Amino acid sequence: MNRLAIIGGGSVGLLYAARLASYHEVTVYTKSKEQAIAINEKGIQIEENEQITVIRVKAAVISDGIAPCDLVVIAVKQYHLSSILPFLRKISPTTPLLFLQNGMSHLEIIDSLPHTYVFLGLVEHGALKKGDVDVTHTGIGTTRLCMYKEYHPIHKELLTNSTDSFPFVEEHDWHYTMIKKLIVNAVINPLTALYRVENGMLPSVAPFRQNMEQLFAEVVLSLGINEGKEYWASILMVCEQTAFNRSSMLRDIESERQTEVDSILGYIISEGEKRHVDVPLATFLYNSIKGLEKKQKK
């Protein structure tokens, strides 16, 4: 049984800790001492289909350092990566790292680390944190596992231990896989967050769909993509499959949390500037979301 360190006590961190505890010895590293104590005392209470299961895992405060382990899963939001960098740098460079962030901006941070074995995980599950130990698995998806640096055997073990309720799928082209997910997030997340609607509303309401199409056109041009039919089909499929879901960016706005707009639309705008592509709608949406974030801080 491998020893897994999961950094982050948010919805994704709690979900992965609970699901991976079936095959691994899991320790969750949290920011607050209170959450670590609560997890150690109560376990993680995961809800699915109105049934609650208690999963026992260990927990510790990240400021106390990360104990030697066989894999570190980084499940914090992209904008929190810089705050945990000092702890990541203290981990042995031969310990594999798995990053679960949205967007593409965090790749620069990953490249600054000395670690030999690095994987990227694209999370397609739905998860909602309801308390320090409470998480709801709102939708079964997939973890798309990409090798970013050199191969390590634990990569195969994650795939081997894949289950129907928590599957891992290997993707051989990390760049294509991340770009595809980025495009989906760049179109769905900011529009649903601004309109305060569920995903399925975007293609089904004509004015929303018109803005979807315009935003999509800006996104693919910014990324230097000439043929976008496949990516547009992916967006529509996600909207259909998650029609009644509220995007993570919308939930962040509703919960008055910081969003990942910088790593998603911020990246798109930056890429557009490099290619001299105008992105008026993407810029409007980026500024709108940033404005909502600042409004909530007052």
- Active-site annotation holder among 42, 180, 181, 294: 181
The secondary structure of the chain in percent helix, strand, coil, rounded to multiples of 5, reads: 50, 20, 30
- What is the distance between the alpha carbons of residues 259 and 265, in angstroms, rounded to a whole number? 11
Amino acid at 150: E
149 is catalytic: no
Beta strands in the chain (DSSP E): 2-7, 24-30, 44-48, 51-55, 58-61, 71-74, 97-99, 118-123, 126-129, 134-139, 143-147, 168-171
Cα(282)–Cα(187) distance, integer angstroms: 9
End-to-end CA distance of the chain: 47
| 3-class state of residue 31 by DSSP | coil
Q: Residue 297 burial (CB < 10 Å; 0-12/13-18/19+)? A: exposed
| Catalytic residue list | 181
